[in-house]
Amino acid sequence: MKTIRVSVIGFGAVGQGVARVLIDKKDYLEKMGLDFKVVAVADSRTAVIDDNGVDLSSVLVRKQNEGVVGSEKITGLEIIETIDHDLVVETTPTNIVTGGVGLQNMLAAFKHGRDLVTSNKGPLAMKYCELIEAARAGGSHFRFEATVGGAMPVLNLAKDVLAGNTITNVEGIFNGTCNYILTRMTEEHAPYEQMLAEAQELGYAETDPTYDVEGIDTACKLVILANCVFGMNASHEDVTITGITKITPEALLLAQNEGYAIKLIGEVNDSRINVSPKLVPIDHPLAVGGSLNVASVQTDLSGPITVTGRGAGSIETASAILSDMISIYRD
């Protein structure tokens, strides 16, 4: 049995999802010879530390009831720097202006030679090359499948599974909120504002939806794809972005009459990184509805490979993190 000492930094929806899957998959992981022992959990205000392994179930209950994970006043960054462990699971919220605490956490983890798995796309969209270099210098494994497309495998698909292929183009729907709003506008023939309000009520959209509906979230994911899959050194200023706020129900109807759906499509290839609403033939694999994500990877040897799945959600995103954790330590 290989024991891996883990810290979970950030305990919002994704961090809690990671705790749940680690509890649920304990036997499964043991059969693989892996024991992920969580020695520290931190949220934005508190932390809980136990060298013998934190009881994740009681941390989840405490977070639910009291809104905090513990009583220790130690920050995530301090945990990364001072507590002896192997792997940091970084699930703090995304900040694309400064990189937020996530960036500091990641750099500190690599400085101390710890491996890192993250769902936080902000730092990667801003400082990709710097982070990759820091991980290399620290001898750290660094995986971030959860940053693009949630449960839907894209990065590992393009990098590992399709190894040997040259990827010439990736396009798809990388934001479930926009897909939900556009799908519902088409179904109800309702204006954007009304379906945004519905999405907010159902928790699919944030109170301030700018990040999603203006295409910024999609742009960040494209930057990660561009850097990771196409070997570029891009940041989100390199993306041309048009959001969905100007889409009218009439346009959706006209498109439908011509056999198209309108989707917010992100596209990366050697010549451009672009986010904009596009016409997708309704029988095309990219025309998925609801809040689904989809990506079509164009390869030289295999032609197009299309994957679709849930792009967000606590357990779904945690599944991508778990798969990264396993792939680091399996062999």
Q: Is there a catalytic annotation at residue 159? A: no
| Count of residues interacting with other proteins (CB under 8 A) | 28
Among 43, 86, 115, 267, binds other proteins (CB under 8 A): 267
Among 71, 248, 270, 330, binds other proteins (CB under 8 A): 248
Residue closer to other proteins, measured from CB, 32 or 254: 254
d(CA 34, CA 27): 9
CA distances from 58 to 20, 55, 204, 306, 316 (A): 11, 6, 28, 40, 22
Query: Is residue 106 a contact residue for other proteins (CB under 8 A)?
Result: no
Rule CB under 8 A: which of 197-236 touch other proteins? none
Length of the chain: 331
Residue closer to other proteins, measured from CB, 247 or 315: 247
Kindly indicate which of the ranges 3-11, 70-78, 154-162, 246-254 contains the residues binding other proteins, using the contact rule CB under 8 A: 246-254
Kindly indicate which of the ranges 207-215, 245-253, 308-316, 319-327 contains the residues binding other proteins, using the contact rule CB under 8 A: 245-253
Query: Is residue 132 a contact residue for other proteins (CB under 8 A)?
Result: no
d(CA 231, CA 224): 10
Among 281, 282, 290, 300, binds other proteins (CB under 8 A): 281
Query: Is residue 280 a contact residue for other proteins (CB under 8 A)?
Result: yes
Q: Which residues pair with 316 in a beta bridge?
A: none
Task: With H, G, I as helix, E, B as strand and everything else as coil, classify residue 219.
Answer: helix
Query: Is residue 246 a contact residue for other proteins (CB under 8 A)?
Result: yes
Query: Is residue 254 a contact residue for other proteins (CB under 8 A)?
Result: yes
Residue closer to other proteins, measured from CB, 90 or 171: 171
Query: Is residue 302 a contact residue for other proteins (CB under 8 A)?
Result: no
Kindly indicate which of the ranges 1-9, 130-138, 143-151, 270-278 contains the residues binding other proteins, using the contact rule CB under 8 A: 270-278
Instruction: Residue 314: count other Cβ atoms within 10 Å of its Cβ.
Output: 18
CB of residue 149 to other proteins, shortest distance in Å: 17
Contacts by 292-295, CB closer than 8 A, 24 or more apart = 292/173, 292/176, 292/179, 293/149, 293/150, 293/152, 293/172, 293/173, 293/174, 293/175, 293/176, 293/179, 294/152, 294/172, 294/173, 295/149, 295/152, 295/154, 295/170, 295/171, 295/172, 295/173, 295/174
Exactly one of 121, 221, 263, 278 is catalytic; name it. Answer: 221
Query: Is residue 277 a contact residue for other proteins (CB under 8 A)?
Result: yes
- Interaction pattern, residues 156-185, with other proteins; x per rule: CB under 8 A: -------------x-x--------------
d(CA 149, CA 297): 13
> What is the phi/psi pair of residue 113, to 5°?
70, 20
- Asked if 290 and 312 touch (Cβ cutoff 8 Å), the reply is no
CB of residue 214 to other proteins, shortest distance in Å: 13
Among 276, 299, 308, 323, binds other proteins (CB under 8 A): 276
> What is the phi/psi pair of residue 263, to 5°?
-130, 150
Rg (CA), the chain: 20
Number of H helices, E strands in the chain: 13, 12
Residue closer to other proteins, measured from CB, 33 or 304: 304
Query: Is residue 289 a contact residue for other proteins (CB under 8 A)?
Result: no
- How far from the centroid of its chain's Cα atoms is residue 202's Cα? 20
Residues that are catalytic: 221
The binding site for other proteins (CB under 8 A) comprises 169, 171, 242, 246-248, 250-251, 253-255, 257-258, 260, 262, 265, 267, 276-281, 284, 286, 296, 298, 304
